[in-house]
Structure 1
Amino acid sequence: IQQHYRHAIRQSFKVHADEDDPERIQQIIKRAIEDADWVMNK
């Protein structure tokens, strides 16, 4: 199941790879890290 989440997180990164707003990018990265932490703590 972790594999699935890892893929989903990677996909969300790719989707936002063309973001230009640094603040928005920080939010996305922070969220991705929180999601990854949540998955690892499962």
Structure 2
Amino acid sequence: MRLKGLSLKDFAIVISDYLIKNGIEVILTGGACVTIYTDNKY
């Protein structure tokens, strides 16, 4: 899979899906979460 050019939201989805499939529970927090939630307007 090519990661270059993915939006922050799509990148977070790819990484979290990979970790979940490998038994690692993840929670997105902090600045990346705010950026995704506000559509990069904050």
| Alignment TM-score > 0.5, same fold | no
The TM-score with structure 1 as length reference comes to 0.45
The TM-score with structure 2 as length reference comes to 0.45
Q: Larger % of helix: which?
A: 1
